């Protein structure tokens, strides 16, 4: 039986003046995860939210908070985001010198550990940490901004990652330029979680937009 694809709306595209309401609306609309993009203005050329905002949003949904740390170095932020209510913490291969140690830290705090691959980062960089990973995030745009166009080479990378993980219970997430036109290709390549910002928030009917991605 095929596992239904999970949809993780990115609140980067939400109305920041009413984030609590937006998160409640996404929950009610059928989101599987709430995707939180954390940017430090250093690892990526943008600055977004910190643990305080995640803590404030936590009471508004019981869905898993999927926190994507686009920060360097990541280790100094991990405990504070866990305390704020993150369920999944994803870090980038390039963000720190000791990926294995960082993933161990996340798991030691009882959270699911994710690792992200930028468009130019080869999947082989994950070969020695696969047994410490719960989620692999394939970036299909360069991280830092919403609303970018999908990079087609991500499809082949997703398929290679799918082959690489074998029978391990690792989710494959895709982030960047995801919409109803390419969602079926991403799932066919092996994606199990689709992050979408503009595609979910393009109209006020979040439930219809999430259903279109499925």
Quote the pLDDT of residue 40: 95
127-147 pLDDT per residue, tens: 999 999 999 999 999 987 777
- Over residues 53-70, the mean pLDDT reads 98
Q: Is residue 116 part of a domain?
A: yes
- Provide the number of structural domains found in the chain: 1
What CA–CA distance (Å, rounded) separates 119 from 153?
A: 8
Residues involved in catalysis: 37, 175
157-183 pLDDT per residue, tens: 999 999 999 999 999 999 999 999 999
95-125 pLDDT per residue, tens: 999 999 999 999 999 999 999 999 999 999 9
Quote the pLDDT of residue 148: 77
- Domain span at residue 81 reads 6-213
Please report, for the domain that includes residue 11, its CATH number.
3.20.20.70
Quote the pLDDT of residue 145: 72
Q: Is residue 117 part of a domain?
A: yes
Q: Is residue 208 part of a domain?
A: yes
Q: Is residue 56 part of a domain?
A: yes
Q: Is residue 1 part of a domain?
A: no
């Amino acid at each position: 039986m095929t596992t239904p694809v999970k949809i993780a709306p990115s609140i980067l595209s939400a109305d920041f003046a009413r984030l609590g309401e937006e998160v409640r609306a996404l929950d009610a609309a059928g989101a599987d995860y709430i995707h939180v993009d954390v940017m430090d203005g250093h690892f990526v050329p943008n600055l977004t939210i910190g643990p305080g905002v995640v803590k404030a949003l936590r009471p508004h949904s019981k869905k898993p908070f999927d926190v994507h740390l686009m920060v360097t170095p990541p280790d100094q932020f991990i405990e504070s985001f866990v305390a704020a209510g993150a369920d999944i913490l994803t870090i980038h291969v390039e963000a720190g010198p000791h990926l294995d140690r960082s993933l161990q830290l996340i798991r030691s705090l009882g959270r699911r550990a994710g690792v992200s691959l930028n468009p130019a980062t080869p999947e082989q960089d994950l070969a020695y940490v696969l047994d410490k990973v719960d989620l692999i995030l394939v970036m299909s745009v360069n991280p830092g901004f919403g609303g970018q166009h999908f990079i087609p080479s991500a499809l082949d990378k997703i398929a290679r990652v799918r082959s690489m993980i074998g029978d391990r219970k690792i989710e494959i997430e895709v982030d960047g330029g995801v919409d109803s036109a390419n969602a079926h290709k991403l799932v066919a390549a092996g994606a199990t979680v689709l992050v979408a910002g503009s595609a979910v928030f393009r109209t006020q009917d979040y439930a219809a937009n999430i259903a279109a991605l499925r």
